[in-house]
Amino acid sequence: QSALTQPASVSGSPGQSITISCTGTSSDVGSYNLVSWYQHHPGKAPKLLIYAVTNRPSGVSDRFSGSKSGNTASLTISGLQAEDEAHYYCSSYTTSRTQVFGGGTKLTVL
Protein backbone atom coordinates (compact mmCIF):
# COMPACT_ATOMS: atom_id res chain seq x y z
CA GLN A 1 0.00 0.00 0.00
CA SER A 2 2.59 2.57 -1.02
CA ALA A 3 1.37 6.09 -1.63
CA LEU A 4 0.83 7.17 -5.21
CA THR A 5 3.56 9.49 -6.54
CA GLN A 6 2.78 13.14 -7.16
CA PRO A 7 5.11 16.12 -7.66
CA ALA A 8 5.56 18.00 -4.40
CA SER A 9 4.77 21.35 -5.99
CA VAL A 10 3.65 23.03 -9.18
CA SER A 11 3.06 26.65 -10.03
CA GLY A 12 1.45 28.77 -12.70
CA SER A 13 0.25 32.27 -13.44
CA PRO A 14 -3.39 33.32 -13.54
CA GLY A 15 -5.03 32.23 -16.76
CA GLN A 16 -2.46 29.53 -17.49
CA SER A 17 -3.01 25.76 -17.39
CA ILE A 18 -1.15 23.30 -15.21
CA THR A 19 -1.12 19.51 -15.02
CA ILE A 20 -0.45 17.38 -11.94
CA SER A 21 0.60 13.78 -12.46
CA CYS A 22 -0.17 10.81 -10.24
CA THR A 23 1.78 7.60 -10.76
CA GLY A 24 0.80 4.29 -9.26
CA THR A 25 1.13 0.65 -10.15
CA SER A 26 -0.79 -2.10 -11.88
CA SER A 27 -2.37 -2.86 -8.48
CA ASP A 28 -4.08 0.50 -8.21
CA VAL A 29 -4.12 3.24 -10.87
CA GLY A 30 -3.44 0.78 -13.67
CA SER A 31 -6.08 -1.73 -12.61
CA TYR A 32 -9.28 0.28 -12.61
CA ASN A 33 -10.65 3.57 -13.87
CA LEU A 34 -11.23 4.55 -10.25
CA VAL A 35 -8.94 7.53 -9.74
CA SER A 36 -10.24 10.54 -7.85
CA TRP A 37 -8.79 14.01 -7.28
CA TYR A 38 -9.30 16.24 -4.25
CA GLN A 39 -8.62 19.89 -3.50
CA HIS A 40 -7.64 20.75 0.05
CA HIS A 41 -7.34 24.23 1.46
CA PRO A 42 -5.61 24.26 4.88
CA GLY A 43 -8.06 24.11 7.75
CA LYS A 44 -10.98 23.11 5.53
CA ALA A 45 -12.50 19.81 4.50
CA PRO A 46 -11.09 18.26 1.32
CA LYS A 47 -13.30 18.63 -1.75
CA LEU A 48 -13.87 16.02 -4.46
CA LEU A 49 -12.99 17.43 -7.89
CA ILE A 50 -12.87 14.37 -10.15
CA TYR A 51 -13.99 10.76 -9.76
CA ALA A 52 -13.62 7.70 -11.96
CA VAL A 53 -10.74 9.40 -13.82
CA THR A 54 -12.73 11.92 -15.82
CA ASN A 55 -16.02 12.67 -14.07
CA ARG A 56 -16.82 15.94 -12.30
CA PRO A 57 -19.36 16.05 -9.46
CA SER A 58 -22.16 18.54 -9.83
CA GLY A 59 -20.96 22.06 -9.04
CA VAL A 60 -17.28 21.52 -9.85
CA SER A 61 -15.94 23.92 -12.47
CA ASP A 62 -15.19 22.52 -15.91
CA ARG A 63 -11.75 24.12 -15.58
CA PHE A 64 -10.84 20.89 -13.79
CA SER A 65 -10.35 17.79 -15.92
CA GLY A 66 -8.83 14.36 -15.47
CA SER A 67 -7.24 11.70 -17.62
CA LYS A 68 -5.30 8.46 -17.32
CA SER A 69 -2.78 6.48 -19.31
CA GLY A 70 -1.51 3.19 -17.98
CA ASN A 71 -0.36 3.60 -14.38
CA THR A 72 -0.40 7.41 -14.47
CA ALA A 73 -3.35 9.70 -13.98
CA SER A 74 -3.37 13.45 -14.47
CA LEU A 75 -5.34 16.46 -13.30
CA THR A 76 -5.39 19.55 -15.50
CA ILE A 77 -6.52 22.92 -14.25
CA SER A 78 -7.12 25.46 -16.98
CA GLY A 79 -7.58 29.21 -16.61
CA LEU A 80 -5.79 29.27 -13.25
CA GLN A 81 -7.35 31.48 -10.62
CA ALA A 82 -6.00 32.73 -7.31
CA GLU A 83 -8.50 30.59 -5.39
CA ASP A 84 -7.06 27.46 -7.00
CA GLU A 85 -4.02 27.77 -4.75
CA ALA A 86 -4.31 24.68 -2.53
CA HIS A 87 -3.03 21.15 -2.07
CA TYR A 88 -4.23 18.55 -4.56
CA TYR A 89 -4.39 14.82 -3.92
CA CYS A 90 -5.07 11.90 -6.20
CA SER A 91 -6.54 8.66 -4.91
CA SER A 92 -7.17 5.23 -6.34
CA TYR A 93 -9.01 2.10 -5.37
CA THR A 94 -6.72 -0.92 -5.26
CA THR A 95 -6.95 -4.60 -6.07
CA SER A 96 -7.04 -5.24 -2.31
CA ARG A 97 -10.36 -3.35 -2.04
CA THR A 98 -8.57 -0.54 -0.16
CA GLN A 99 -7.84 3.02 -1.26
CA VAL A 100 -4.55 4.87 -1.50
CA PHE A 101 -3.78 8.58 -1.77
CA GLY A 102 -0.92 10.34 -3.45
CA GLY A 103 1.54 12.35 -1.38
CA GLY A 104 -0.11 15.60 -2.43
CA THR A 105 0.91 18.53 -4.63
CA LYS A 106 1.00 22.13 -3.50
CA LEU A 107 -0.21 24.45 -6.24
CA THR A 108 1.05 28.01 -6.12
CA VAL A 109 -0.64 30.65 -8.27
CA LEU A 110 2.03 33.23 -9.02
Chain positions contacting another protein, by CB under 8 A: 1, 3, 32, 34, 36, 38, 40, 44-48, 50-52, 55, 57, 87, 89, 91, 93, 96-104
Nearest CA among 19, 45, 46, 24 for reference residue 35: 24
Nearer to another protein, 18 or 100 (CB): 100
Shortest separation between residue 75's beta carbon and another protein, angstroms: 13
* Length of the chain counted residue by residue: 110
Nearer to another protein, 3 or 10 (CB): 3
On the 0-12 / 13-18 / 19+ scale of CB atoms within 10 A, 90 is buried
* Backbone phi, psi, residue 48, to 5°: -75, 125
Shortest separation between residue 3's beta carbon and another protein, angstroms: 7
